[in-house]
DNA sequence: CTGTTAGCGCATTCAG
DNA sequence: CTGAATGCGCTAACAG
């Protein structure tokens, strides 16, 4: 166990001041790079700090400054599939080490969420990012909080809150436009739970892009669960009913994996006979399939950066106004692999 | 200087005291449930606090107490596959809301790790959990830190540190013992990168369990990468050389997925002809394959809980003693699904 | 340039 | 039981 030698409490600024033979204030100025201190004095202070391995106590600083340089990340994303890239983006935006993030997992429990919220406020975080695991609107934390709040991935159901979420409609469009560009015209859509806004929004985008091209979807949108099993079953049914389908937009990479399985079983070549596109760009799934999976990437890291920047802006301004209230739909991105474009 | 003005800063304890018509000290006692305060007075204070929606400032409390009730989780696990269950276990152990966790991602960069470490110490965390992404020993943070440190998943290379890591040797044994219990005797082992301690340790367990049963591995251990691709290729070679193999222990669920693919292509039935077992119990992979994948689960959440408890013990004791230094190998667990036992 | 003083918000003596 | 005083570690006015 790494422990300081004995009960040696951490050195304080006054220890440093005494060791350097200066006053507390001077030591403070020297340490903080204030310019009202003689070079020689500063040197002495710095050396003393070094020898005592002095670490400025952020608690005390924060108490004075009224800001802690910390942000709370309140999530219900158990698997961490969405929250991790968002967290990384937020760290990027804040600048590593400048701001630290408290990560709290509410596990989908409103009581626990309330509990964590309170704890975060007690610790005087400067802002809170709320990350949901679906893109369905979630209950607002309310407006009577003393710190700015940004909702990421799952938007708030209150339009006067600030929310950033991926543009699923655009994602659906993008998928279809890519298949069209690949020369496909008989396109079907297999997706997940119809209760999810993500499923509905992507389907809207799919239909809109087809309509723009003067085409119709092959069969209805096939909703069920976000699983490989469903991908396998749905594509088997689809091929039985519409053997001429030449492109399949999938609502998730998992579904797409199932679709690839079935196509393989049926002796269909991908992408020659049927092109397949997934959604989420979950690398472990997308890059290990046969062929590798073209997919839509929601740019979650960028989303995290944006959320962090919004928080930052809100912290900076003192007038309490909430800039950019409303739901911001962030652009998504196409990642092309072998399931839509044959390798040569 | 009059402090009463219109500024909407958060209510402080002295605001509460004034509103309740008592002194600061009395308000403090009332709020904190000290018993040297008259019931009626306490009632008045509590109501005032409620009305002002008073939130005790943890910074100030921590400054006095010398403890913050926060822990730093320093990781390099980009994907968050290991760190999330560990984080959840740690939250469990600390009791939600009692302790909050700063999550820092060093992204495999030593400089950035040092940076984050310093920030955590400045913020006066009570302890640090270091989470690696492999089970190979990692450099120690050293012993001159003012707070206890526990290494999770990746142990420290310094045996006087406290480390908790999954018992991969036991995992390898467990996998083989299960296949033996299923009546398999011609068992092969396909695994990942031989540079990984995880691959070597699991292979050691596999060999040991076979030796105990008076058996030998079919062919050599097949090392390469932790990918589905390798699982597919390796199993094709294996079956070509040893068509009579009836059990395959895989070093990861990804590899196992690839193996299942190839067996399917070759017309082998799983588990009737060949039983397959994976490693990690990564649910998204294990529960979506055909058949579902039996796997070894490293109990990461339990690992996180244990790490947290170790930290906790170390914080509690003031004598600076080092309880339980060394690498602790935590038990793993078999999760049986259809790839080893046929469903009926 | 340097030091003295006064808090940040709170918990804790120790007198009343 | 209650309250005035002290200090946690540090920064920011001021005064020398």
From residue B73, alpha-carbon distances to A79, A113, B41, B186, B335 in Å are 17, 20, 42, 44, 28
Which residue among B84, B102, B144 sits closest to A102, beta carbon to beta carbon?
A: B102
Instruction: Tell me the nt nearest to B62, Cα to C1'.
Output: D8
Domain made up of A168-298: CATH architecture: 3-Layer(aba) Sandwich (3.40)
Report the distance from CA of residue A7 to the C1' of nucleotide C16 in Å, as an integer.
37
**Alpha-carbon distance A36 to B49, whole Å?**
43
Assign residue A71 a region (left: φ > 0; alpha: ψ between -120 and 50; beta: otherwise): beta
Contacts 24+ apart (CB under 8 A), B63-69: B63/A57, B63/A59, B63/A60, B63/A63, B66/A9, B67/B126, B67/B315, B68/A59, B68/B123, B68/B124, B68/B125, B68/B126, B69/B98, B69/B99, B69/B100, B69/B126
Q: Distance between CA atoms of B265 and B277, rounded to whole angstroms?
A: 18
Q: Using CB atoms, which residue from B10, B63, B258 is nearest to A63?
A: B63
Contacts of A93 in chain B (CB under 8 A): none
Please state, in angstroms and rounded to a whole number, the distance separating the CA atoms of residues B199 and B172. Answer: 9
Give the distance from residue B212's alpha carbon to the nearest chain A alpha carbon, in angstroms.
36
Measure B33 CA to D5 C1' (Å): 22
Q: How far apart, in whole angstroms, are the C-alpha atoms of residue A260 and residue B31?
A: 62
pLDDT tens sequence across B284-328: 999 999 999 999 999 999 999 999 999 988 887 755 556 678 999
Q: Are B84 and B304 in contact (CB under 8 A)?
A: no
Nearest residue of B to residue A291, measured between CA atoms: B229
User: Is A26 within 7 A of strand D by CB distance?
Assistant: no
pLDDT at A2: 39
Q: Residue A75, CB, less than 7 Å from strand C?
A: no
Give the separation between CA B257 and CA B238, rounded to whole angstroms. Answer: 15
Helix (H) or strand (E) holding A202: helix A197-212
Question: How many Cβ contacts (< 8 angstroms) between chains A and B?
Answer: 164
Residue B2 has pLDDT above 60, yes or no: no
Rounded (to 5) percent helix, strand, coil in chain A: 40, 15, 45
pTM: 0.92
pLDDT at B319: 56
Q: Residue B213 contacts by C-beta under 8 Å, 6 or more apart in sequence?
A: B176, B180
A13: distance to nearest CA of chain B, Å? 13
In this structure, the dihedral spanned by the alpha carbons of residues B201, B203, B204 and B210, taken in order and rounded to 10 degrees, is: 150
Cβ <8 Å between B115 and A122: no
Cβ-based burial of A247 (10 A; exposed 0-12, middle 13-18, buried ≥19):
buried
Residues in chain A where the model's pLDDT stays below 50: 1-7
Q: How far is CA A60 from CA A22, B59, B71, in A?
A: 20, 8, 18
Predicted confidence (pLDDT) per residue in B3-42, tens digit: 222 235 688 999 999 999 999 999 999 999 888 888 889 9
* B144/A4 CB distance under 8 A: yes
The boundaries of every CATH 1.10.260.40 domain in chain A are 13-56
Q: Which CATH class is domain B68-166+300-329?
A: alpha beta
Q: Do B145 and A101 touch (CB under 8 A)?
A: no
| CATH classification code of A13-56 | 1.10.260.40
Whole-number mean pLDDT of chain B?
A: 91
State whether the beta carbon of A110 lies below 7 angstroms from any atom of strand C. Answer: no
CA A5 to C1' C11, whole Å: 28
Query: What is the CA A218 to C1' C4 distance in angstroms?
Result: 83
B187-212 pLDDT, tens digit per residue, is: 999 999 999 999 999 999 999 999 99
Q: Which residue spans of chain B are classified as CATH 3.40.50.2300?
A: 68-166+300-329, 168-298
The minimum CA-CA distance between A56 and chain B, rounded to whole Å, is: 6
């Amino acid at each position: 166990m790494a422990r300081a030698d004995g009960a040696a409490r951490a050195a304080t600024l006054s220890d440093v001041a005494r060791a350097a033979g200066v006053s507390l204030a001077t030591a403070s100025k020297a340490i903080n790079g204030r310019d009202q201190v003689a070079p020689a004095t500063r040197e002495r202070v710095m050396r003393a700090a070094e020898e005592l391995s002095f670490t400025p106590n952020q608690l005390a600083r924060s108490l004075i400054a009224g800001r802690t340089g910390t942000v709370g990340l309140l999530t219900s994303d158990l698997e961490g599939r969405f929250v991790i890239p968002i967290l990384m983006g937020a760290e990027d935006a804040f600048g590593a080490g400048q701001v630290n993030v408290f990560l709290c997992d509410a596990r989908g429990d409103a009581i626990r969420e309330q509990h964590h919220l309170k704890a975060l406020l007690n610790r005087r975080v400067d802002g809170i990012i709320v990350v949901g695991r679906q893109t369905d609107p979630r209950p607002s934390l309310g407006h009577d909080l003393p710190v700015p709040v940004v909702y990421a991935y799952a938007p708030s159901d209150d339009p006067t809150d600030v929310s950033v979420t991926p543009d699923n409609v655009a994602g659906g469009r993008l998928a279809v436009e890519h298949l069209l560009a690949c020369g496909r015209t008989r396109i079907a859509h297999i997706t997940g739970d119809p209760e999810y806004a993500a499923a509905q929004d992507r389907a809207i985008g799919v239909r809109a892009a087809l309509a723009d091209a003067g085409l119709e979807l092959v069969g209805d949108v096939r909703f069920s669960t976000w699983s490989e099993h469903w991908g396998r079953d749905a594509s088997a049914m689809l091929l039985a009913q519409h053997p001429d389908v030449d492109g399949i937009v999938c609502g998730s990479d998992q579904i797409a994996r199932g679709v690839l399985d079935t196509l393989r079983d049926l002796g269909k070549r991908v992408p020659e006979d049927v092109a397949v596109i997934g959604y989420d760009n979950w690398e472990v799934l997308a890059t290990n399939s046969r062929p590798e999976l073209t997919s839509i990437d929601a740019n979650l890291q960028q989303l995290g950066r944006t959320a962090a920047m919004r928080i930052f802006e809100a912290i900076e301004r003192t007038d309490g106004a909430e800039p950019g209230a409303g739901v911001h739909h962030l652009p998504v991105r196409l990642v092309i692999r072998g399931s839509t474009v044959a390798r040569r």
